[in-house]
Structure 1
Amino acid sequence: MWRRAMAMALRLLLLPLATRGFDIDGCTSIVVNADAMQDGSAVTSHANDCADCDWRVAYVPAQDHPEGSERIIYDAVWSQYPRLVDPSRSKSYQPAMGITSTAVLGRIPQVKHTYALWEASYGLMNEHGVGMGESTCSAFLVGTGLSQGGTALFSIGNLMAIALERCKTARCAIQTMGDLGAFYGFYGEDPGMGGAGEAVTLVDQSGEAWVFHICGGVPSSEKNASWATQRGALWAAQRVPSGHVAVVANSMIIRQIDFEDKENFMLHPGLKDLLQEAKLWNGRGQLDWQKAVSPNMETFSYFPGLAPIPMYSTLRMWGVYRQAAPSAKIRATKDLGSFPFSVPVDGKVSILDVMNWFRTHYEGTEFDMRYGSLAGPFQSPNRAEGGDGAKAVPGQFARATSIPRTSYTVLLQSGIKQPRVWFAPDASASSIFVPFFASALDANAQGRFDVAAYGTGSMKSFSFDGARSAWWAHDFVANWMDLSYQNMSEQYVYPKVQRLQREVYHETQEAIDHAESSLDLAERASQIQRKVTEEWWRLAEQMVVRYNDHFYNFPESDPTNVGSIGYPAFWLEMIGYDQEFYRPHWFQRSPWVPKMLPDAIKEQLGTPPEFLAEALTWALSPSPPTLCLLLLLPLTSLMTYLVGYRRGLQAAQQDIYCQLSA
């Protein structure tokens, strides 16, 4: 028997080594109309939640091309470092890590002149202030790429890059992406229906903001089929209304389409016919793009092989709307269809507000990810995704806008004097956004930025003696925080994020006011980028000392003392800690919030309705242990939980993250 037990133990130890990596990139994009912003800018964004992406910022210069030139289409689904090998496109794209070339999928006719742009895993912003964010979405129509034996040439990364190379407006970019996808074919970056669609959010110097959706097309073997040259993709785009904010969180959000409203909608010309041919719409009544094109997230398995996760999209959307527009009373629900395309903000917001929308983990609400068993004793909001465990035990946990596998987050701000990219490496909750100006892309500045901090390095290699890149500084702090998340975040990291971010914002404004040329502005931005990187490495070094071995070591207030942090009382209460814990102990889910949590937190978290039903069943069970525990639970506690849940539904209008970070 002992041999069998040893074999089983060995198998369990080796199991994680054989588990395929979590390979789905689910990103969040928030887009804000100019009339909703205090400074009159239009803002879009992209949290690139990618576990293995090459996060480097690259400068792609403007170029003139001879008549008859072709534009090479590389494999843009490959995202690891180096994501592209093409020194003619950017000096950053040199061979590295044993990769000497990038797969060529095809070629299309080149235009005479292409514009300069900032680029990371996806195109960011060009010299004319066109900015783009991205979010992969589910769709019924699945395209198959050339590299997988299909006929589709384009994934979303290439469409975005070409649109930024060729367009001065968001409308031009939408038309370019739609036409290229429809003619040459479009395929998703992730497998199957889960990644068959895409959303691109766009802003430009006119202050317009748009949401563009695209998915696979409707192939036909008939030679004389209608729309014969435009069957490779279906697409639709809607303008964000004045004063509104919209959120794309891996789900299509365009709803009712008005085919006559050319000012606010741009559409595939054969959309009606091809949707009917695909039997996705009966042609009667108003077309609801979301319902016609995408599966129901309540029942659809977004991650292949895992259970449906209906709150994966809606909780993030609610998390933004509850802060931007509390009067809209958007509810946290599994029903994606109950969410509007966009909502008007309650009051004009700042770019610092938008940054903070990406940093929260629902602090101050009933979904606060710092509490509960998955948060562990040190109240970490980070969750480990994927793995065989999730396949064996179906379920879902809360999904925030800031997660550990965030490669970078960008805000693209246009419609103002100096359009800019705000770039934050790694998880946004513990990161600082720094500026990259569109004007620095011109021939004078030639894309000047701090290349050592933001343009070099890789997830595949780390050295304490090597280049001190911005990404590794932020990533190190984000990972180290899990040693004592609650203490570290409140004592050091969150306050520093807010203080330094405000400094960066004001220094950016001063640079704009005093710069005499694009080169001056680029130099000042480089200084800001270097300052943030150096400060974050100093913070990393400080955190190593301060939280070594789960103690609180040599703080500024008492530099000769080592203090204990220990397990919090509520955690010990929750797991039933007692004199018998020298043996392994196990615990089961309970409907009750630990009594040793502060009263304010207990009211905030409340008891969800499904737990009340479970609690009633538990309370009515005839077992003696249940009866004993019931005698210990005051009725006032139950009332507290009920009141707390009610208050949780009416969560604080301004996220408590900002209070913790003030």
Structure 2
Amino acid sequence: MKQHKHAACTSILVGKKASLDGATYIARNEDNYVANWPKKFFVQPQVHNRKETYVSPYNNLTVQLPSEGLRYTSSPDANQDEGLYEEDGINEKNVAMSATESVFANEKVLAYDPLVENGVAEDSITTLVLPYIDSARAGVEYLGKLIAKFGSAEGNGVLFSDKNEVWYMEIATGHHFVAIRIPDDCYAVAANQIGIEDIDFDDSKNYIWSSGIEEFVEKYNLNPDFSGWNFRHIFGTDTKKDRHYNTPRVWYGQKLLNPSIEQDPESSDLPFIRKPEKKISLEDIQRILKSHYNETKFDPLGSGNEEDKNRYRAISLSRTANSHILQLKDSRAIEWKAYGIPSFSAYVPFFTNANDTDESYRIVPEKLDLKSAYWLYETLAFVVESHYQAFVEDNLDYQIKLSKWARAKIHSVENEAPKYSVEQLTEYLTSKNKEIIEHFDKATQNHLADLVTKGTELSRLTFKMDPNL
């Protein structure tokens, strides 16, 4: 089976009592193996009385689709030769999903339950699940049934949330997975390795697992611990790659939310679930997704030595195609999007109770076009990084200004929303999304123009005559 380009992400999950505003959050940087991988963003409509078979362009997985499907936001690849890769969205029942966080099982468990070549893979997961679920837990259960029937082609971590619960599901082998409900007062950071730890098989309220997983582990003598049942220990890996590519990202996310706790960035024992030292804001989540070991010697853009700056893989990368934060509280459902390198981009809020998105998000040309949101933010990132020290403060001011504006705009829209009927509200929020896009586009284009104008004075191809000559 061919290797797809979507295989490196960082995820954050936050329970409602751990967040500043009482919302649940799931968030992820969708990273690829290449820097230029355009993404679209639009609304998939409801479907009724459908008779259709889904066939994956990636691995020919073939599934008969349900006749009825919910409306949902979708973030597919612009080039779909390899598959849809819808990745993340919120459906009309205000259930959010992000798929996937690529994870990898060890050779011992894969020997006895290998991956299934034409099983469920990342390219298909959101498409096959999000339109058909009415809660976060139902998402885990629905995907679990697909894995039981078709098998899994990959190791994947999948995020689900509704206004009350946040779930994280790790699919490790061809047919085995576990899922954990993130405690309301806790958060989790995941980074391309199996992270879920102890499973309580007497607690089906907070854990879900594949049928026969206990018997599978016992039959093949796969549990390395003298006591307990730790999914990470049994199914996960513990390699040099983990210690340089994966665990440092978890370390840094926890460092920002639990700054008083000293941990080793290469530790194999970083906890998956943590209680934060203070309530987590939307901006805190953005800060993590934008981060590159800021204010440490490991920052690739910092002043450390070359060995330290290249020691660990950062969270925000040039190959982050789509950074998203899915925010749910009561009837509020907002999907925050950042294209380009998240470190330099603004997160744009979208009310997901909408029937369309702006053309600048729906249509993505193959080559640079500043009318396209994807290309606009890719260009901004390229310009900022080209003269990072000269541009970074201006860029931070731009981000903060838009973040403040977005909070005020959302507050204003939500104050007006109760005036509209259920039927009118979708049209109203669709129109507000357009206003938000227009403001962000104008602000970003102005910022880009200012940087380019300033940058003309920074060329190395300049010459000043020495008066002594």
Which category describes the TM-score, using the shorter chain as reference length? 0.7 to 0.9
- 8 Å contact kept, 1:123–1:157: no
Whole-angstrom CA distance in 1 between matches of 2:115 and 2:233: 22
Residue 421 of structure 1, aligned match among 324, 332, 335: 335
Residue 318 of structure 1, aligned match among 243, 251, 272: 251
Per the alignment, do residues 481 and 54 of structure 1 end up closer, same or farther by CA in structure 2, a change over 3 Å counting?
A: closer
Residue 403 of structure 2, aligned match among 490, 495, 501: 501
Whole-angstrom CA distance in 2 between matches of 1:314 and 1:282: 21
- 8 Å contact kept, 1:143–1:185: no
Whole-angstrom CA distance in 2 between matches of 1:535 and 1:274: 56
- The residue type equivalent to 2:44 in the other structure is V
Match of 1:480 in 2: 383
Q: Which has the larger radius of gyration?
A: 1
Residue 445 of structure 2, aligned match among 537, 542, 567: 537
Residue 61 of structure 1, aligned match among 45, 57, 64: 45
Per the alignment, do residues 105 and 503 of structure 1 end up closer, same or farther by CA in structure 2, a change over 3 Å counting?
A: same
- 8 Å contact kept, 1:72–1:104: no
Whole-angstrom CA distance in 1 between matches of 2:429 and 2:157: 32
Query: Runs of at least 4 residues of structure 1 off by over 6 A?
Result: none
Whole-angstrom CA distance in 1 between matches of 2:248 and 2:463: 38
Matches within 5 A, 1:405-416: 405-416=319-330
Between the two proteins, the alignment pairs up a number of residues equal to: 437
Match of 2:267 in 1: 335
- The residue type equivalent to 1:159 in the other structure is I
Match of 1:165 in 2: 131
Residues 377-414 of structure 1: CA deviation (Å, up to 9, x unaligned): xxxx9x8xxxxxxxxxxxx5222221111111000111
Match of 1:357 in 2: 288
Matched, 1:199 2:106: no
| 1:340 positional shift | 1.1
- The residue type equivalent to 2:172 in the other structure is C
- 8 Å contact kept, 1:419–1:438: yes
Match of 1:254 in 2: 196
| 1:374 positional shift | 4.4
| 1:551 positional shift | 4.5
Per the alignment, do residues 539 and 407 of structure 1 end up closer, same or farther by CA in structure 2, a change over 3 Å counting?
A: same
Matches within 5 A, 1:610-629: none
Match of 2:95 in 1: 130
Unaligned runs of 5+ in 1: 1-20, 78-102, 189-196, 218-232, 299-307, 376-380, 384-395, 441-446, 554-561, 565-662
Per the alignment, do residues 545 and 347 of structure 1 end up closer, same or farther by CA in structure 2, a change over 3 Å counting?
A: same
Match of 2:73 in 1: 118
- 8 Å contact kept, 1:131–1:202: yes
Unaligned runs of 5+ in 2: 77-86, 465-469
Answer 1 or 2: higher relative contact order, Cα 8 Å, separation at least 6: 2
Matched, 1:38 2:20: yes
Whole-angstrom CA distance in 2 between matches of 1:285 and 1:425: 45
Whole-angstrom CA distance in 2 between matches of 1:156 and 1:24: 8
Per the alignment, do residues 278 and 475 of structure 1 end up closer, same or farther by CA in structure 2, a change over 3 Å counting?
A: farther
TM-score by length of 1: 0.62
Residue 520 of structure 1, aligned match among 418, 425, 428: 428
| 1:552 positional shift | 11
Residues 587-612 of structure 1: CA deviation (Å, up to 9, x unaligned): xxxxxxxxxxxxxxxxxxxxxxxxxx
- 8 Å contact kept, 1:448–1:526: no
- 8 Å contact kept, 2:194–2:237: no
SS of aligned partner of 2:176: strand
Match of 1:434 in 2: 348
| 1:175 positional shift | 0.7
| 1:106 positional shift | 1.5
Whole-angstrom CA distance in 1 between matches of 2:151 and 2:38: 26
Matched, 1:49 2:15: no
Matches within 5 A, 1:7-406: 23=5, 25-50=7-32, 51=34, 52-66=36-50, 69-75=51-57, 77=58, 104-108=60-64, 110-121=65-76, 122-133=87-98, 134-140=100-106, 141=110, 143-144=114-115, 150=117, 152-188=118-154, 197-205=155-163, 207-217=164-174, 233-281=175-223, 285-298=227-240, 308=241, 310-327=243-260, 329-336=261-268, 338-369=269-300, 370-374=302-306, 397-406=311-320
SS of aligned partner of 2:295: coil
Match of 2:364 in 1: 457
- The residue type equivalent to 1:32 in the other structure is V
Per the alignment, do residues 281 and 63 of structure 1 end up closer, same or farther by CA in structure 2, a change over 3 Å counting?
A: same
In percent, how many aligned pairs have the same letter?
21
Whole-angstrom CA distance in 2 between matches of 1:484 and 1:514: 42
- 8 Å contact kept, 1:450–1:527: no
Residues 95-140 of structure 1: CA deviation (Å, up to 9, x unaligned): xxxxxxxx753133x3231111111131321111111223111113
